[in-house]
Amino acid sequence: MTANTIELAEPPAVPPPRPPPASGRGRKWAVRAVIGLASAVVLIGALALWINRVALDNDTYTDTSAKVLQQPEVQHALSVYLVDQLYANVDVPAAVAQRLPPNAQPLAGPIAGFLRDYAERAAQRMLESERIQQLWIRANRAAHANLVLVIGEGTGSRGHFTTTNGDVVLNLGPMVQGLAERLAVDPGTISGGRVVILHSDQLSTAQSLVHLLDSLVWVLPVLALMLCACAIWLARGRRREAARALGIGILLAGIALVAIRRIGGEQIVGAITNLEPGSSAAQATWDVVTEGLADTATTLVAVGLLIIAWAWATGPGGRAGRIRQMIGPQAIGHPDRVWLAAGAAWLLVIYAGPTEAFRRVWPLAIMTVLGAAGIELLLRQSATEARSVQPHGESEA
């Protein structure tokens, strides 16, 4: 009787995991080009959106001008301007002479000279008053409405808005008159105090820029999203790397906005206003006007960093793997708890409103959708990896 021999068959060889399909050199360069173009479109779109809001939205323009007037440096520069306009439109020595006795009237000239310093201090105190600030706001609102009407319609007159010799002006005459009243000087008819916002020979250029901005504000955000989606689609097998590159591109766009705001801002203000380039008033004005730009830069930097963090968390690194090991059991057994915690955290961020993007519908919707997609992909990957190392027969509950 022969003993039965049992031969143990070797387990079938498990084929190694297929590497991601290698992208050709042309595809790699195409992905890089699309990512670079998407980053540039994000940067240009952010600038176009900021310019559109500050320059063309009447409420934003008026609110910004009110904040500008609250800056001490601007108040000082404007007080000097108002006093200059007062002395240019009123014979101050003659007005002083009328209030002096006959034997003291020869002193009217020197007194008027000394009065200028007092007038500047009086003007600065006047600019801090609520009544004058309201005059400033009304003047800026009317000038901006006229500006938008003229460059939007291409006419010099429409309704109760008119240009002055073809120019769009900010009329500060009432403020000069208020200063004259404070100094007990009869201002008569104030013909000065008009700050030119747009010269007539700049009208055609301004109209072209406005029409271009109206298009870019809507086209560029959509184009940026399409380019990002195209880059991810092209990077088959290397989409995590493409997402990381997109995050870096968005991060660099935000840094570029910071650089634009930091470098040469006062030169731009000086070129389009009566403020001297490089002056503290020009810098203060630029800081206020570009608050929205800084806000957008903060949003882009944060979004870029979050995308980079997601690419790292889903990557092959050891620390990222340990994080997914911690998430895995919850992703398998209690994904609802993960979503509840993530939703609560997101609602707290929205409530805090760290940037303007969290108070606008479309940016908030886009960030919410992208964030939810990132969390879902991370949960799926963590759950898949947890199941792959789970002992045979162990319950997934």
pLDDT tens sequence across 318-362: 899 999 999 989 989 889 999 999 999 999 999 998 998 898 898
Interval 205-222 mean pLDDT = 81
| Amino acid 343: pLDDT | 94
53 vs 318: CA distance, rounded Å: 46
* Of 86, 82, 90, nearest in space to 188 by CA: 90
pLDDT in tens, 71-90: 988 888 888 888 888 887 77
**Is the pLDDT reported for residue 230 higher than 60?**
yes
Interval 174-197 mean pLDDT = 71
Least-confidence region, from 35-49, 161-175, 323-337, 376-390: 161-175
For residue 140, what are its two tokens? Answer: 């800026």
260 vs 328: CA distance, rounded Å: 44
Angle between helices 335-352 and 361-388 (to 10 degrees): 150
365 vs 355: CA distance, rounded Å: 14
Categorize the per-residue pLDDT at 52 as very low, low, confident or very high, splitting at 50, 70 and 90. Answer: confident
**∠216-221-224 over CA atoms, to 5°?**
115
Interval 86-98 mean pLDDT = 76
**How many CB atoms are located within 10 Å of the residue 159 CB?**
8
Residue 158 — φ and ψ, nearest 5°? -155, 120
**Is the pLDDT reported for residue 263 higher than 90?**
no
Interval 94-115 mean pLDDT = 74
| Amino acid 192: pLDDT | 62
**How many CB atoms are located within 10 Å of the residue 45 CB?**
21
The pTM is what? 0.77
* Of 157, 177, 153, nearest in space to 166 by CA: 157
Q: Percent of the chain having pLDDT more than 90?
A: 31
**How many CB atoms are located within 10 Å of the residue 323 CB?**
16
Least-confidence region, from 38-52, 157-171, 174-188: 157-171
